[in-house]
A = this chain, B = another copy of it.
Amino acid sequence: MLVSQSVLRNFTKNIFLAMGCSIEHATLAADVLLQADLRGIDSHGVARLVGYVRLWESKRINANPNITIVHETPTTATVDGDAGLGLVVAPFAMRLAIQKAEQYGSGWVSVRNSNHFGIAGYHSLLAVEKDMIGFAMTNASPLVAPTYSNERLLGTNPMCYAFPAGKYPPVVVDMATSAAANGKLEIAQRAGKPVPEGWIQDAEGNYTTDPHALKSGGSLLPLGGDKEHGSHKGFGLSATVDILSAVLSGANYGPWVPPFVAFLQPPADPVGLGIGHFVGAMRVDGFRPIDEFKAHLDNWISRFKSAQTVDPDQKVIIPGEPELEAEADRKVNGIPLVDAVVEDLNGLAEKFGIAPLAP
């Protein structure tokens, strides 16, 4: 089904309102999810809505959080999300980072007691709108084994860096630190297709191309796949995300991160509160006049876009470009939803007594 973004946005907002979110939080949370759907990152958009509702039903998401700053200096802070939606807690943290950057040049906020924050790019781009460089990362439910291990100890722990350009759109590096994000695995599962070697291993630690291997004790592999191809680097990046997001804020880390799914209980021996994020903003003009920076970043983009390629029909892709192409298309033509997602959403509509989705 193709649904216009305004219809889907309104529907999503109504679900959050029905959960008891304030109008401000419901609008913001819907905006974060819709940006994922618009940008083509379907695994992080409204497809997750039913997951948020289930966590709220099992009292693991607080629809009316009292988000507080528990510690701060002029340019750093720790925020407690009061078990709220990461979709509203992370923008709170990023606005705080931006305020600090406006005054002192940079601002950095580590967040505890939060939940899944949607796409990292949304939060980083809040800084880019202010001519700042945006950083956003989060830890997540453990699915990834460190190099040499077959134990799931880390999430897909994404990191995102976003930079404002001039005539070109922003450069947005937004990536899971695993070889493949879980969303890609789900696509292969639905399609009944094998995945490439180097994405996952089975319970014994052998490479497998079975996209269902996670269900039988397998694990995702860090970016790099194996040691010879640099998986210790993917592990190191994932560790960095975990430490900045959770060891620094007082959230749960490693295997203690609570699972995103309501049917799995969080570990009985938590080492912190909820999941953790880390966001930051730096004023570009804290280093160099913004126009000079943008002119040089445009030159950088232009040089890479015109790079010689192995296949002349396949150009080099600037980080963030595919998402912008999806957005341009979907704003006009609507957002495609697979049947299973439409079914989930209309199940929610029925639960809350609101009108179902129509194309």
Contact = CB atoms under 8 A, between A and B. Distances in A.
A148 B106 contact: no
A236 to B, nearest CB: 4
Contacts of A228: 196
A24 B233 CA distance: 34
A213 interface: no
A303 to B, nearest CB: 6
B310 A148 contact: yes
A309 B149 contact: yes
Interface string A246-264: 0111100111000000000
A180 interface: yes
A331 interface: no
Nearest to A251: B296
Contacts of A43: none
A266 interface: no
Given A171-B239, A254-B303, A300-B242, A248 B284 contact: yes
A8 interface: no
A5 interface: no
A333 to B, nearest CB: 25
A148 to B, nearest CB: 5
Contacts of A233: 175-177, 223
B319 A235 contact: yes
B239 A198 contact: no
Nearest to A70: B288
A155 to B, nearest CB: 14
Contacts of A230: 175, 179-180, 223-224
Nearest first, the 5 A-B pairs at minimum CB distance are A205-B310, A76-B286, A73-B105, A173-B236, A76-B105
Interface string A53-81: 00000000000000000011111111000
A310 B150 contact: yes
A75 to B, nearest CB: 4
B300 A243 contact: yes
B248 A293 contact: yes
Given A171-B243, A229-B196, A310-B205, A76 B300 contact: no
Interface string A266-295: 000001100000000011101110001100
Interface string A138-156: 0000000111111101000
Contacts of A117: none
A225 interface: yes
Interface in A110-161: 110, 133, 145-151, 153, 161
A22 interface: no
Nearest to A174: B236
B146 A304 contact: yes
24 contacts: A72-B286, A74-B75, A75-B106, A76-B283, A77-B286, A104-B104, A106-B106, A110-B287, A145-B307, A146-B304, A148-B310, A153-B303, A153-B307, A163-B243, A163-B247, A173-B239, A175-B230, A175-B236, A204-B310, A224-B230, A232-B317, A248-B288, A254-B300, A271-B296
